[in-house]
Every structure is written in C-alpha cells, then in structure tokens.
Structure 1
C-alpha cells in the first residue's frame, strides 16, 4: 500500500559515514524528498538555524555529540519533528534508549533504503494528516488544552507546550478514544511500535505524563487500568 506525503517534504540526514550520506541523499531525492545532509551534530545545528525539516534521520554512533545526546538536546530545545535513529546496535534495550531520548523510530544497520523511505513517509503522514475520529475541537486536560487537529498543547496562559511527534501521535490516539481503555498492544500497533515491543509504549506514556500531569506518579488524566492498558480521561 502506498503512503502519500506532502510534496517536497524536507529530510535532514545526519551521519559521519559520508558514503551513506550521499547514498541516502540521492535515493531520497529520487523518491521526491528534499534532502539536506550533515556529517555531525554540530553541522546539523547550523542547518537547523536556517531550515525546519519535516523529519530527521540521525546516526547514533557519531563521534563527539552522539545521536542519542543530539536527539535529547533537540527535544529539550523544543524541536518536535519526527526523528528516526540509525544504528548498528539493534537490541531492544538500545531502541528503548532511543525512545527515552525522544526519538520516534529506530532502524538497525544495515537496512534497505526503501524501508527508511517508507518509515519516513508514515511518520510525516502521521503528524500531518488528521484522523477521521478526531474531536471537532480542543480537549481540556485540567489547565491544559490539546488541539488534535493541529497537534498543539497549550497551557492556561496560551503558551504552547512542545510535543515530539511521538508524543503528539500518542496523545491524539488517546484523544480520539477518550474514556476508552486501550491495550498496550493496540497502542503499539497504532503507533507502529509493535516491532520494538510494548515496553516502548510505557516509555511514551511516561514522557507524555510529564507534559500533562501535575504529579506524573499520581496521574489524573492519563491513567493506567491494571491488566488492561491506558485510558485518557479529559476534564476541566
């Protein structure tokens, strides 16, 4: 099944392997993307001063600031585009570390460029295409308000709270199924995390609770239903 993306979606690829950089630049360009490349996190930061890409592809094992450190710092700085990590280490614990740093996806080396392209298309589509089940207006979560049509979370003073694309996708999914218990399995499948494992869902839930809850250890809105899964209970 083909996945449509907006024309000219911009991808920034960051990897110290210049041969791989050139290969991905050529392949993704042929697939209709606009592509920028950087051989280090430092070089990528310079590019980010001028452009805001639709997605980022980052190698984990770069010298200097590695991919995990770079991803985590970008999230802290408020960048919320999808980030896909590349690594020769494909163990589940490595993937979990990537998600904890704020990444949306993880692809082990060696990989087929077509798989990378398809994953990028899915993530870009996920953050740009509304669901037919979306509520018609913003959803109240205490003093916060979430607009699922624009994937925007703001506080009572109308200050926007940055969400990663993974956090926004999870919150949108829970919003579309508000007051409905969703199993970890169904969430993993909906967010394309099933190849990583349900532990990845717990990581994203924990990250999202830090955004939504006054006390993430005693969640009011994003609750755990023991033995069943998670449920979002909106309310003012």
Structure 2
C-alpha cells in the first residue's frame, strides 16, 4: 500500500524534524515548506493527500494560503495549525474551508488521529460535517437532514463541534465541562446531560438506543459520525 503524502507548511524547523520522524514511523511520507510561496510549485509536481498549514507564517499568513488552496485545489484537505487559541481565528479558518484546526502545542498522536480521519472520511462540500444522515454546519449553528434545517442553540453547537473534533473518542464529563466553560474546576451539573439529550433528538437518535451520541457507562460520551 503506497504511503500517504503529507505537506507541512510551517516555519518551525523543530516541528519539521519531529513530524518527519513521527509520521514516517506511521507510514506517511512528509514534505516540508517554510512558507506558503512554494505551495503552488509543489502542488504542480505532486498531489499531497493533506496539507498541514501553520497560520502564523512569514509574509502572507496561513489564512491567505488556505483561501488560495481552496480556490485552486478545492478537494485538497487542509488542517490548520496555530499557537493561538482564539475562537475567532478558528472560525475564520473553518469559514474559508479548513477541514480541521489543531492548537499548538499538540501531541503527535492527536495529529495522527485527526489526519487519518480526514483522509479516510473527507469532509462533504460547503464545509459541512457529516454525522450519519445529518450535515452539521458549525458556522451557522444548524443541522440539515433530509432537506430539513434544524437550528442549534449556541451551547448545542459548541458541544457538537467539540464532539466532532474528537469523534470516536470517549469524552469524560470533566473534559466536556472544561471545553464548554474553559474552567476545568467548574462543578459538574445536569446541563451537560440536558444538552446531550437535546442534541440526540436533533440528530434523530433513539433516546433508548442512540447511534451517534452514545453514553459509555461510567466513562462519558462518544460521538460516532458514521453510525
């Protein structure tokens, strides 16, 4: 089976060396660029399976190059990397067409899991996230299913987006509470369960046997997007 081709565009040479070693061990071939100016010539000679694109590049930033890539190579998946934790920056990247967004510093294994999911399950057009028969639009806080638009509250949207970013993984209530509030010491309460119950209804899940948002007894919850 041929190795998947990953293009890393980042001016951090230490990160180049780290990901070169780690991804090569996991049967990926990784190419590196220090800025976005060479993306065009690279893509003319080689078609990577995914681009890892840093936002804080010298010269034109990553959001500029993301827009360029989506214009000239609309089916090429792009994962943004950034040291900033700004929600506005993340939403701007998703709006332009990023397939995922990872905040630095990150564990290489998390990067591997995310890029495997993107390559295996490319995002549907218009930046929608497929969850079974549903199409999730985090930018406009809504679901679409069978031609019907289902509006989400801001809290529901934030929680579902967090689940999508960690699809297939068991998320504890502590992790969910931290993601929703930004405070890992916030006391747990029933609001998480109530929000999950509302999301299940909007996803068309059977309350007694949910296929998407599943409860993992004594551990937490897991979202299965291909159920």
Structure 2 residue 173 is the aligned partner of structure 1 residue 178: no
Question: Please, which runs of 5 or more residues in structure 2 have no aligned partner?
Answer: 137-143, 168-175, 181-200, 204-227
Over residues 85-138 of structure 1, what are the superposed CA-to-partner deviations in whole Å (9 max), with x where a residue is unaligned? 11110121221111122111111111111111111011111129xxxxxxxxxx
- 2:165 is matched with 192
Which of 109, 112, 117 is residue 104 of structure 2 equivalent to? 109
The 8 Å contact of residues 127 and 169 in structure 1, kept in 2 or not, is answered as no
Q: Which secondary structure state, in structure 2, belongs to the residue aligned with residue 127 of structure 1?
A: coil
1:141 aligned residue: none
For 1:172 and 1:90, the matched residues in 2 are separated by 31
Query: CA 1:229/1:74 → structure 2, altered by over 3 Å: closer, same or farther?
Result: farther
Q: TM-score, normalised by structure 1?
A: 0.57
Partner of 1:74: 69
Q: How many residues align?
A: 162
- Map 1:65-214 → 2, pairs under 5 A: 65-127=60-122, 163=125, 166-167=127-128, 169=130, 173-174=134-135, 177-179=145-147, 181=150, 185=157, 188=161, 191-192=164-165
Q: CA deviation at 1:188?
A: 3.3
Q: Secondary structure at the match of 1:49?
A: helix
Output the TM-score relative to the length of structure 2: 0.59
Assess if the C-alpha contact under 8 Å between 2:6 and 2:28 holds in 1: yes
**Is the 8 Å Cα contact of residues 11 and 35 (structure 1) preserved in structure 2?**
yes
SS of corresponding position for 1:81: coil
SS at match of 1:106: strand
CA contact (8 A) 2:3 2:29 kept: yes
| Contact map agreement 2:128 2:135 (CA 8 A) in 1 | no
Q: Superposition RMSD on alpha carbons, in Å?
A: 3.5
Deviations 1:23-80 (A, max 9, x none): 2122111111121111111122221111111111011100112111100111122432
Q: Is the CA contact (8 Å cut-off) linking 1:10 and 1:33 kept in structure 2?
A: yes
- 2-side partners of 1:191 and 1:72: how far apart? 23
CA separation of 1:182 and 1:174: change in aligned 2, threshold 3 A = farther
> RCO (CA 8 Å, sep 6+): is it higher in 1 or 2?
1
